[in-house]
């Protein structure tokens, strides 16, 4: 291994074919001042995963008998217990789904988990294919595109990844940042932002997504273009831009907005071209997971092994980018054509456990197997990659929050009690090692379950954990994140009374450090 005269944040072992292995932080190779600076860094990292369909309660969550502590929140009793893993035959389990080889799901990682039950989407959107997963509930309009909730523009909100990406509180410095956020997914996007994100104005639009490891690597680690010379292009045209915008009477308000948005995009592009990541010895290229695993050809649709490997290559690039400071935010959406099953996605959805989750025990077990594979091979894979990056006395996972959501709750198409699984304490902001049940056991039943607290409170908790203050996102009628949707399409507003919305700005019960 070479020893550069000026050490970067990360070191890598170079190998055959431009392969590179990220090494843990090695304090002895840094000056004492550099080592101390590295050890105290607390720039937050966020990775969000979403998977299709729902999971039976008994498969996703630990035993109710572990819930030994109670508190009052939102006018009802909520419960908590410690995560207690069991080990058998080389497999460690928190629940039937939350299981993995013991060498992967270690006691240390279980101690950095939270398992949350009783968080609800507050309108009955049926399928949303992940579009509502991170804060824009009104975008969950796949099944009901003509519902007034979906068609009312004022109901649209940015997804929380985009709130972070453009928050001055999250990115206090953009030095080395090539991509403020990464949006990855099959088919449907899960990320939404302003058409003019720098100014925080314009309509809410889908954010471009990708699922190709090579193109993502190229975006995070562009080939150096040399030192920029001359006046930046944006500055060169600034005078003409101002003249056109301010004095041309024929320019409509819509066109004025378009030219503003275009100039902001050019400014952001220029910033990226003029920055550099903080890593040395990064490989010059990265494999193309689409080509390696024959994406959408051959047996792709029914080969979960290929689908796992394809997703893990994305995880590898994301972890590398986060290790190098090239990005700090990524969201990933599992959807068609990746079923993570030996069934093709549409067959899994229409004829299998997608619609028949609770029809037979075999269907429930089939869904549990799919979710267990996704958890152990994709979500846990990312947590382990961040945990392997040692930073001072902790790891990158300690300053991160890795979240995983299902699309539905414990029955097909339900938006009630959609599980949230997390890894990491977000720099010590959150307590971990908890199983929490926020359902109101004395409340009215809907879809064979009890409503509890809301996803707007969860999203607000995430934003606060990432260092984004409530003043940057809170609503006029509640302090959580996202539009207050009071039921809809069969859900009554009474399921989430004012007492529940009144605490939406608080960190979720039992989690505040």
DSSP class per residue in 133-182: TTS-GGG--SS-TTSHHHH-GGG----HHHHHHT-TTT-S--TT-S-S-E
Kind of pairing between the strands at 201-206 and 192-196: antiparallel
What pLDDT score does 270 carry? Answer: 55
d(CA 6, CA 12): 14
What pLDDT score does 229 carry? Answer: 56
The b-or-e profile of 101-135 (16+ CB within 10 A means b, else e) is ebeebbeebbebbbbbbbbbbbbbbbbbbbbbbbb
Nearest C-alpha neighbor of 195 from the set 254, 137, 244: 254
What pLDDT score does 240 carry? Answer: 61
What pLDDT score does 306 carry? Answer: 94
Kind of pairing between the strands at 329-333 and 182-185: parallel
Strand order in the sheet with 99-101: 86-88, 91-93, 99-101
Nearest C-alpha neighbor of 405 from the set 40, 131, 93, 123: 131
DSSP three-state, residue 453: strand
What pLDDT score does 485 carry? Answer: 93
What pLDDT score does 226 carry? Answer: 56
pTM: 0.85
Considering all CA atoms of the chain, what is the largest pairwise distance in Å, rounded to the nearest integer?
A: 76
Domains present along the chain, CATH in parentheses: 12-224+276-501 (3.40.720)
CA 285 to chain centre: 25
Reading the block at residue 60, the tokens are 């996703």
The stretches of 274-377 forming alpha helices (DSSP H) are 289-292, 304-324, 345-350, 353-356, 361-374
Q: Mean pLDDT per segment of 10 residues, for the chain of length 513 residues?
A: 37 42 46 51 92 95 97 98 97 98 98 98 89 93 87 96 98 92 88 94 92 91 65 56 63 67 55 58 80 89 94 93 94 90 92 93 96 98 94 93 95 93 98 99 90 98 98 95 90 95 98 98
């Amino acid at each position: 291994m070479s020893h550069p005269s000026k050490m970067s944040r990360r070191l890598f072992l170079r190998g055959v074919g431009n392969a590179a292995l990220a090494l843990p932080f090695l304090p002895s190779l840094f000056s004492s001042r550099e080592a101390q600076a590295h050890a105290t860094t607390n720039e937050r990292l966020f990775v969000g995963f979403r998977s299709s369909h729902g999971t039976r309660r008994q498969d996703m969550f630990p035993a109710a008998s572990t819930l030994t502590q109670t508190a009052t929140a939102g006018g009802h009793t909520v419960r908590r217990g410690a995560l207690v893993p069991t080990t058998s035959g080389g497999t460690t389990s928190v629940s039937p789904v939350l299981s993995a080889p013991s060498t992967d799901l270690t006691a240390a990682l279980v101690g950095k988990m939270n398992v949350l039950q009783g968080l609800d989407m507050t309108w009955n959107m049926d399928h949303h294919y992940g579009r509502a997963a991170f804060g824009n509930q009104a975008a969950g309009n796949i099944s009901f595109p003509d519902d007034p909730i979906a068609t009312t523009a004022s109901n649209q909100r940015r997804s929380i990844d985009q709130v972070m990406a453009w928050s001055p509180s999250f990115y206090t410095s953009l030095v080395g940042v090539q991509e403020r956020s990464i949006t990855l997914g099959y088919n449907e996007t899960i990320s939404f932002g302003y058409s003019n994100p720098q100014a925080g104005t314009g309509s809410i639009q889908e954010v471009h997504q990708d699922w190709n490891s090579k193109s993502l690597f190229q975006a995070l680690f562009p080939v150096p273009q040399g030192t920029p010379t001359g006046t930046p292009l944006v500055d060169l045209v600034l005078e003409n831009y101002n003249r056109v915008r301010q004095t041309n009477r024929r320019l409509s308000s819509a066109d004025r907005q378009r030219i503003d948005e275009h100039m902001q995009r050019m400014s952001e592009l220029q910033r990226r071209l003029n920055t550099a990541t903080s890593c040395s010895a990064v490989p010059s290229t990265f494999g193309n997971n689409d080509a390696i695993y024959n994406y959408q050809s051959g047996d792709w649709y029914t080969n979960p092994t290929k689908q796992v490997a394809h997703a893990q290559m994305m995880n590898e690039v994301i972890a590398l980018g986060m290790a190098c400071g090239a990005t700090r935010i990524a969201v990933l959406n599992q959807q068609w054509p990746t079923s993570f099953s030996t069934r093709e996605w549409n067959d899994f959805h229409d004829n299998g456990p997608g619609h028949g989750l609770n029809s037979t025990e075999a269907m429930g077990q089939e869904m549990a197997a799919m979710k267990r594979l996704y958890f152990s091979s994709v979500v846990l894979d990312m947590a382990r990659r961040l945990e392997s990056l040692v930073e001072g006395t902790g790891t990158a996972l300690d300053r991160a929050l890795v979240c995983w959501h299902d699309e539905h709750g414990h029955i097909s198409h339900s938006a009630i009690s959609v599980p949230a699984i997390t890894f990491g304490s977000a720099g010590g902001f959150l307590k971990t090692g908890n199983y929490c049940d926020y359902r109101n056991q004395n409340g009215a039943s809907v879809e064979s379950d009890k409503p509890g607290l809301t996803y707007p409170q969860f999203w607000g908790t995430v934003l606060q954990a990432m260092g984004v203050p409530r003043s940057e996102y809170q609503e006029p009628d509640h302090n959580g994140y996202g539009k207050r949707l009071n039921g809809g399409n069969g859900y009554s507003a009474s399921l989430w009374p004012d007492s529940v919305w009144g605490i939406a700005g608080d960190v979720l019960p039992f989690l505040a450090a």
